[in-house]
Amino acid sequence: MMRTVFIICLALFISPLLPAPAFADGAVSGSFSTADNISPAAVIDLSIAGRSSNSITLRWTAPGDDASSGTAAQYDIRYAASPISSEADWDVATPVVGIPSPHLAGSIETFEIPGLAAARTFWFALKTADDVPNWSALSNTASGTTTEAFPEWWLTWQPTVTGVPLPEPPVPPRPRMEIRIDDELFFGELDEKGALLNTEEFMSADGAIGMMIQEGTLVTDEEDNHVNLIVIEPGGPFVGTQEYFKVLTIYRFEPSAIFTRPILLKLRYDPQALSDPANEANLRLALYEPAGEGWLILPSSVDDLPGTVQGWTTSVSTIGLLEPRLHRPAAPVIPAAAPQAPPQPVPARLRAVSLALDSREVNPGESVTVTARVINEGDLAGAFNVPIMVDGLSITVKNIYLEPRQEKNLVARLTAGKAGLHQIEIGTLRERFMVTSIVPPVSARLMGFPGLLDLTLTVMVSGAISMVILTYFERRRRKKRPDTRPTAAGTLK
């Protein structure tokens, strides 16, 4: 009995001294988790893309999940009757509902805000958040004024006979689509469905750009919202690969628009700007897609007007006039060498050029920040999914968009859980770091669990008291037991 009690007390006393079990808390064999503390970049190009008597359409460039890369999770758009230039203004502004989810960083976003009062000026601003959510800083403020509303009585008014004929009510103006080129404004009337009533031709005063839109054409943005105002502005020098062509002229359309019927575009060029006069017959109009294949060649031909090229398209965003760079022998040789076709552009291709860790030895629960420098080695822009591997398993994937030859940093934060040596891989690069195994002192562990300490002391004291009581009764029992040993005379004592 005493031995059993002693073993139980000893087990209860020793159990707190044993090492604490280790638990996993991440995604690599339960060892790691990622911490996202990078907010989306603030929008800086919020602008007005269209307006009506009860709505205003906004336009902006989508930021990313981490600064300007990846895809964010949500937008918060608000408006007010005065500028939204501070957080205090933002807090009292009116939120907008029904906002669609963000697209990939660099995409052009448009959104129509309905339910506004006519002939009123409103100010707009927005913020962007990722999945955490980490919220971006406040965007720039854009302002716009809704158009005049058509009076309701104009639609229901009927002349009454009072002896004097009453004049007919004014005819309400038809809705129209506006094309703004520099400081010139052109327009075409629309029917009740928003389609162009007549075929319209527009040409800037200097003849640099012109367009023809067919009767019955509907114009929408990328979200299928009606567009009733397109602003056309000359673009600056093209930034990008120009090895295989020369960009003679660029025009940008705000917002990007889609047409239900092909439209005819005409761009003028300076023949003196050609690298080779023989290239004039090969000039082409092209549509630039920054998130896709780069320049997309449109069906084009040299126009009857001198120095003008025309082409057909069903969408507009950035339009350019391109001169191909033809590869020819420097001088005629005998026999004449066959002309060589120009090399094809190299597709978008990602390569990691450096990998660094902010610490190579951490304790369980501490973080390791991983920074990788990546580059697009192709001649075309592209969006990439970059997996971050730990011990051969992918624990997170970062999204990034890169122009040709562009470099950017990828940053990820990992939380260590399992002790030991671990290897991080991004592309072909590898780095190692150590997670140490720290066993806290017994006293610290007991102090970390007050209930366990009280229980241990109670059991030890109870065990000691029990042993004293058992020893006391055992001695009394022995004293009362009669002596049955035989004596020398053969009698019992």
Torsion angle defined by CA atoms of residues 182, 185, 191 and 197, in that order, rounded to the nearest 10 degrees: -90
* Tokens matching residue 159: 């002349």
* Cα(374)–Cα(392) distance, integer angstroms: 20
* Cα(265)–Cα(310) distance, integer angstroms: 6
Count of CB atoms within 10 A of residue 354's CB?
A: 13
Kind and range of the H or E element at 403? none
- Give yes or no for a contact between 432 and 357, defined as CB atoms under 8 angstroms apart: no
- Give yes or no for a contact between 291 and 107, defined as CB atoms under 8 angstroms apart: yes
Kind and range of the H or E element at 234? strand 229-234
Mean pLDDT along residues 366-391: 87
The proportion of the chain whose per-residue pLDDT surpasses 90, expressed as a percent, equals: 19
Write out the DSSP string of 280-347. GGG-EEEEEETTTTEEEEPPEEE-SSTTEEEEEEEEEEEEEEEEE-----SS--SSPPPPPPPPPPPP
pLDDT in tens, 288-302: 876 655 778 888 888
The pTM score is 0.36
Place of tokens 């019955």: 216
pLDDT in tens, 423-462: 899 888 889 988 887 655 544 444 444 455 556 667 777 7
3-state secondary structure of 155: helix
**Cis peptide upstream of residue 133 (ω within 30 degrees of 0):** yes
3-state secondary structure of 55: coil
- Give yes or no for a contact between 412 and 370, defined as CB atoms under 8 angstroms apart: yes
pLDDT in tens, 247-298: 888 888 888 888 988 888 888 888 887 777 666 777 888 888 766 557 788 8
Q: Count Cβ atoms within 10 A of the Cβ of residue 103 and give its class: 0-12 exposed, 13-18 middle, 19 or more buried.
A: middle
- Give yes or no for a contact between 61 and 45, defined as CB atoms under 8 angstroms apart: yes
* Cα(227)–Cα(50) distance, integer angstroms: 7
Mean pLDDT along residues 332-355: 68
Structure confidence at residue 243 as a pLDDT band (50, 70, 90): low
* Tokens matching residue 73: 């999770």
On the question of pLDDT at 124 being above 90, the answer is: yes
3-state secondary structure of 396: strand
Q: Answer positive or negative: Cα dihedral of 296, 301, 303, 306.
A: positive
**Range in 2-16, 359-373, 399-413 the model is least confident about:** 2-16
3-state secondary structure of 159: coil
Amino acid at the residue 305? L
* Tokens matching residue 56: 């205003």
Q: Count Cβ atoms within 10 A of the Cβ of residue 168 and give its class: 0-12 exposed, 13-18 middle, 19 or more buried.
A: exposed
**Cis peptide upstream of residue 299 (ω within 30 degrees of 0):** no
Q: Count Cβ atoms within 10 A of the Cβ of residue 63 and give its class: 0-12 exposed, 13-18 middle, 19 or more buried.
A: buried
pLDDT of amino acid 272: 80
* Cα(294)–Cα(286) distance, integer angstroms: 9
The proportion of the chain whose per-residue pLDDT surpasses 70, expressed as a percent, equals: 73
Mean pLDDT along residues 173-201: 82
**Domains, the chain, ranges and CATH?**
47-145 (2.60.40.10), 176-324 (2.60.220), 347-435 (2.60.40.10)
pLDDT of amino acid 91: 94
Length reported for the chain:
493
For the chain, give the mean pLDDT.
77
Place of tokens 């970059």: 386
Query: How far does CA 359 lie from the centroid of its chain?
Result: 28
